[in-house]
A and B are shown apart, each in its own frame.
Chain A
Amino acid sequence: MTEIKKTALNGVHKRMGARMVPFGGWEMPVEYSGIAKEHAAVRNAAGLFDVSHMGEFEVKGSGALDLIQSVTSNDASKLADGQAQYSALPYPEGTVVDDLLVYRHSLDHYLLVVNAGNIDKDLEWIRSHNHYQATVDNISDRTSLVAVQGPKAAGTVQKITAVPLDRIEYYHFVRGKVLGADTIISRTGYTGEDGFELYFSSEHSEKIWSALLESGSSEGLLPAGLGARNTLRLEAKMLLYGNDMDQTTTLLEAGLGWIVKFDKPSFVGRDALLEQKRVGLKRKLVGFDMLGRDIAREHYPAFVDGREVGHVTSGSPSITLKKNIGLAYLPVEHSAIGSKFQVSVRGRMCDAQIVPTPFYKRR
């Protein structure tokens, strides 16, 4: 077992009394004041997250775009400078190496942001497909990432930077100074709210974290952990790698067809995905409500007419909607909105109903 990794803010979290847990090889705060309270703060005011465990790769050179196009499913050629894109790294079978964000600084300079637990795997994967003389640098260890999410996020961040945030559109970013630190200010997030993600060199992390806490506290901002991040992303139906999709599920099954662009130059997995699209899906990821009080959790089996037909990939109470929600893979013939199925909750059959997603959408 390799030693557990710590972000530059690890000491701050512990001093602030966060409950720390291992996640993807990292020791991370799961909660500060309570998941429900932190979740509500993000929906109603703002939350501050340390997500420095995420991985960052810089891809540079005249072959940078060709490399990214060849390993990702979305069309990175559509990006303008200062724009970000949700994408995925498919296997040749159309299943998922990882999901990621692709940021374009310029035509020959990109930033890829990948999941913490997949950093080594992704780096090896991308480098093994680098037939384009691009440089691929893993800058994860020296890069900190904090997310400010919620309706009060813009006001909170604006107080500590002169960069005009109202000019940054959703899924766009600028490079500017935050308290003197060179920062990528990105209007992105994993909560379903408006918000920003700030990337900067790790030595600035305590200063920026403290300033954001102070800046947002009068507006109701709370420090928040991975627990709230998970309940927030599930309400917004943002998928979690390792739960909702992985090397055993294709992008199309996971409902990520919108980031699979068949009309761009060839990419790893294209043929398999195209064939699956032609033949039709056998199963797909659906959102569901539990009809009783039981909570479906990941791996719980799903049944139709007493027959096991699929499984739950994510499930939890929805703090905002006050009901129990989840995602599950079901055969397409049982995947219509409104259809009912059962989840076996520790051996008891509990009714669930397929509902439209996202479960929650901000007004």
Chain B
Amino acid sequence: MTPDDLLYTKEHEWIRVADNVGTVGITDFATKELGEVVYVELPKVGDKFKSGDAFGNVESVKAVSELFLPCTGEVIEVNEDLGNAPELLNEDPYGKAWLVQIRLKDPAETADLMSAEEYDEYTKEEE
């Protein structure tokens, strides 16, 4: 099930916001579309991005897909576990396979994102 404590983008990222810090990942729908993930390319701590910027890439056997940041902010932590275990993205996309944590510049930006219910509706249309 799509966790209802997260917010979602049309590009299939999720973000969990607490105290102006956002934890970002990609959705179960996205990892199913990708197939087996073999490599994840992430930014460095301190890198700054605007909402909608590409901040990394995820490689599956067949293709590479860009990752887009749901909100403007500065990277404060990167999930180093994915370097050795990219398959976590297929196994636990909402848990162990979070990608980055960012300090949000403007938490009001999250108003533009989708709820779990809205995201489910959106992916149903995409299918």
Interface residues of A (CB under 8 A from B): 19, 30-31, 34-36, 227, 230-231, 293-295, 297, 316-317, 319, 346
- Please name all residues of chain A whose beta carbon is closer than 8 Å to the beta carbon of B61 when the two chains form the complex: 35-36, 227, 231, 316-317, 319
| 22 A–B contacts, CB within 8 A, in A order | A19-B35, A31-B35, A34-B35, A34-B36, A35-B35, A35-B36, A35-B60, A35-B61, A35-B62, A36-B61, A231-B61, A231-B62, A293-B39, A295-B38, A295-B39, A295-B59, A295-B64, A297-B64, A316-B61, A317-B38, A317-B39, A317-B59
Give the docked Cα–Cα distance between A317 and B63 (Å): 10
Flag if B62 contacts A30 (CB, 8 Å).
Answer: yes
**Which residues on B are within 8 Å of A, measured CB to CB?**
33, 35-36, 38-39, 41, 57, 59-64
Give Cα distance in the complex from A170 to B90, angstroms: 39
Q: Could you tell me the distance in whole angstroms from the C-beta of B66 to the nearest C-beta in chain A?
A: 9
CB within 8 Å: A-B pair count: 37
Chain B contacts for A34, CB-based, 8 A: 35-36
On chain B, the residues within 8 Å of A317 by CB distance are 38-39, 59, 61
How far is the CB of A359 from the nearest CB of chain B, in Å?
A: 15
Measured CA separation A317–B39 after assembly (Å): 10
Cβ-closest chain B residue relative to A39: B61
Distance A357 CA – B60 CA, assembled complex (angstroms): 24
* C-alpha spacing A293/B37, complex, angstroms: 13
> Nearest chain B CB to A132's CB is how many angstroms away?
42
> Taking chain A's interface residues, is the majority helix, strand, or loop, or is none over half, making it mixed?
mixed
Q: How far is the CA of A230 from the CA of B36 in the complex (A)?
A: 15
B35, B39, B63 pick with most chain A CB within 10 angstroms:
B35
Q: How far is the CA of A35 from the CA of B60 in the complex (A)?
A: 10
Complex: A30 Cα to B34 Cα, angstroms: 11
A62 to B57, CA, bound (A): 57
Instruction: Give complex CA distance A260, B41 in Å.
Output: 43
When A and B form their complex, which 6 residue pairs have the shortest distance between CB atoms, in order from nearest?
A35-B61, A227-B62, A36-B36, A317-B38, A295-B59, A34-B36
Contact status A294-B63, CB under 8 Å: no
Contacts of A227 in B (CB 8 A): 35, 61-62
- Give the CA-CA distance A91 to B64 in the complex, in Å: 33
CA distance A30 to B60 in the complex (A): 13
On chain A, the residues within 8 Å of B63 by CB distance are 297
Q: How far is the CB of B30 from chain A (nearest CB, A)?
A: 13
Residue with the greatest number of chain A CB neighbours at <10 A, chosen from B33, B38, B39, B63:
B38
A44–B61 alpha-carbon span in the complex (Å): 19
Contacts of A295 in B (CB 8 A): 38-39, 59, 64
Docked CA distance A227–B60 (Å): 11
B62 and A316 within 8 A (CB) = yes
A353 to chain B, nearest CB (A): 19
Nearest Cβ distance between residue B59 and chain A, in whole angstroms?
5
In the complex, which residues of chain B have a beta carbon less than 8 angstroms from the beta carbon of A230?
62
